[in-house]
Amino acid sequence: MGLTSVKVLVSAVALAVVLFLATVWLWPRLARRGWRPVAGRVGLLLVTQVVLFAAVGLAANRSFLFYGSWADLLGQEQEMGVVVDHGAGSKDVRVVGTRALDVPGGGRPSVGGQIQQVVVAGERSGIVSPAYVYLPPEYFQARYAKRTFPASVVLTGYPGTAENLLKGLNYPKAAYLRAKEGRMQPMVLVMLRPTVAPPRDTECVDVPGGPQTETFFAEDLPKAVSGTYRVGTKARNWGFMGNSTGGYCALKIALHHPDRFAAGAGFSAYYRAAEDVTTGDLFHGDDALRRRGDLLWSLDHGRQGNTSFLVTSSKRGESNLKGTRQFIRKVKSPAQVSSIVLESGGHNFNTWNRELSPGLVWMGGKLSAE
C-alpha cells in the first residue's frame, strides 16, 4: 500500500482508535504497583502516541504531499539508475508508459488527451530524469495534425516528486478544463521534479564539477521535447512554471534564458538559491555564480530580456511577500511582471491550487503555438 493511499491512512486511524480503547480498558489492571504494571502503562501510552502521531502525519502528508512514496520518505530514490543507451536513431525522450485523464471520455486521447510517462536524457548535461508529458486532446485530432503546440515546463518543490503535479495539483486536468472552457489555448506540459540529481537539491544551478542542472532545464529539456513532440523551438513557444523550489527555478531559468523561454511563473517562489545541508556546496567559492543565483541581484545588474514573469504570495501566511514585492519593483521594460497576492495562504498545496488555474491561463496567454 502506498504512502498516500486511503487504506494506509484508514488502517493507521483504526489502529490508533483500537489502542486508545485498549488503554482505557486495561488501565485498571495496570494500576497496581510493581515494575510490570508500570512497564505496561508506559508501553501502552508510548505505542498509542506513536500510532496517533503516525495517523496525523499520514493525513497531513496525504493533504499536502510532502512525500509521494515510502521511498521518498525514507530517502531511497527508486528512480536512480535509469540507463538510456544512445545509438543510431535513438531519441532523448523515451516513453515508458501512458495514462488517461479522469475526465468524460478520457480513455480516448482525442477526447481527454494523454499523460505519457517518459525518461529524458540530457545531451549536454548528461542528466537522465523521469518526467510526465501531458498532451492535450487537440494533439491527437486530425485537424491539428500539422500544428505545433506551445509547451511549459512544470516543476514541483523540493523534495517532492513529479507525482505531486498529478495528484496534489493535477496540472493536466486543470489545463484540460481551462482549454475546454476557452480560457486558454491547448498546451503541452512537461512535468518533473527539480531534483534531477537525487537526493541533492541543486537549486537549478550548474554546480562546478557537479550536476549541470541549469543546462539540463534550459537547453537539454526543450531540445529533447521539441525533437520528440510537435512543440515549437522558439522562445515564444516555451514557458516555465513551478511552486516553491520549482518556482525559484522557473523564474531563474526564464530570467537568465530569455532566448529560450518567453515566460516564467513562480508560485510561492523564493528569490535566492538556498544553501544548506540538502544543497551541499553549490558554488565552490565562485562569488559570481552565487550572485547569479540571487534573482533580485540579477534584475539589478543583468540585462532583462523580453520575458514575462508571474509571481505569487499571500499577505498572511507566506514568508516571501517582501521578496515578491522587491521582484515586482525591479522588473524593467522590455520585461513584464504580473502577480497574484492572496489575502491569506500558506506554503502548501491548498494555496497553490488556488493559483494554478489563473497561472495556467496567464501562461497560455504569453506563449505562441507558431
Per-residue pLDDT of the chain (370 residues; tens, 9 = 90+): 666 667 887 888 888 888 888 888 887 777 777 788 788 778 888 888 888 888 888 777 665 555 656 665 665 444 443 433 434 334 588 888 899 998 999 889 999 999 999 999 999 999 999 999 999 999 999 999 999 999 999 999 988 889 889 988 999 999 999 999 999 999 999 999 999 888 889 999 999 999 999 999 999 999 999 999 999 999 999 999 999 999 999 999 999 999 999 999 999 999 999 999 989 999 999 999 999 999 999 999 988 999 999 999 999 889 999 999 999 999 999 999 999 999 988 888 889 999 999 999 999 999 998 8
Q: What is the largest CA-CA distance in the chain?
A: 83
Output the CA–CA distances (angstroms, integers) from residue 268 to 112, 172, 324, in the order listed. 30, 20, 9
Tell me the C-alpha distance between 249 and 276, whole Å.
17
Q: Which amino acid is at 340?
A: I
Tell me the C-alpha distance between 37 and 44, whole Å.
11
**Number of residues that this document lists for the chain:** 370
Tell me the C-alpha distance between 232 and 147, whole Å.
9
Decide if 135 contacts 147 (C-beta within 8 A). no
Helix axes 349-366, 171-180, angle to 10 degrees: 50
Whole-number pLDDT of residue 4: 65
Decide if 186 contacts 136 (C-beta within 8 A). yes
Whole-number pLDDT of residue 125: 92
Whole-number pLDDT of residue 340: 93
Helix axes 349-366, 35-64, angle to 10 degrees: 20
Tell me the C-alpha distance between 242 and 249, whole Å.
7
For the stretch 256-268, what's the b/e string if a residue is b when 16 or more beta carbons lie within 10 angstroms of its beta carbon?
bbbebbbbbbbbb
Tell me the C-alpha distance between 284 and 209, whole Å.
9
Nearest-Å Rg of the Cα atoms of the chain is 23
Starting at the edge strand that comes first in sequence, how are the strands of the sheet with 238-243 ordered?
93-99, 114-121, 128-135, 188-192, 151-155, 238-243, 263-267, 308-314, 336-342
Whole-number pLDDT of residue 63: 56
Whole-number pLDDT of residue 56: 84
Tell me the C-alpha distance between 295 and 273, whole Å.
9
Tell me the C-alpha distance between 335 and 148, whole Å.
25
Tell me the C-alpha distance between 366 and 22, whole Å.
60
Tell me the C-alpha distance between 93 and 211, whole Å.
19
SS3 74: coil
Q: 139: Cβ–Cβ under 8 A, 6 or more apart, which residues? A: 109, 113, 114, 149, 186, 188, 229, 230
* pTM, full prediction: 0.78
Decide if 156 contacts 242 (C-beta within 8 A). yes
Number of Cβ within 10 Å of residue 158's Cβ equals 22
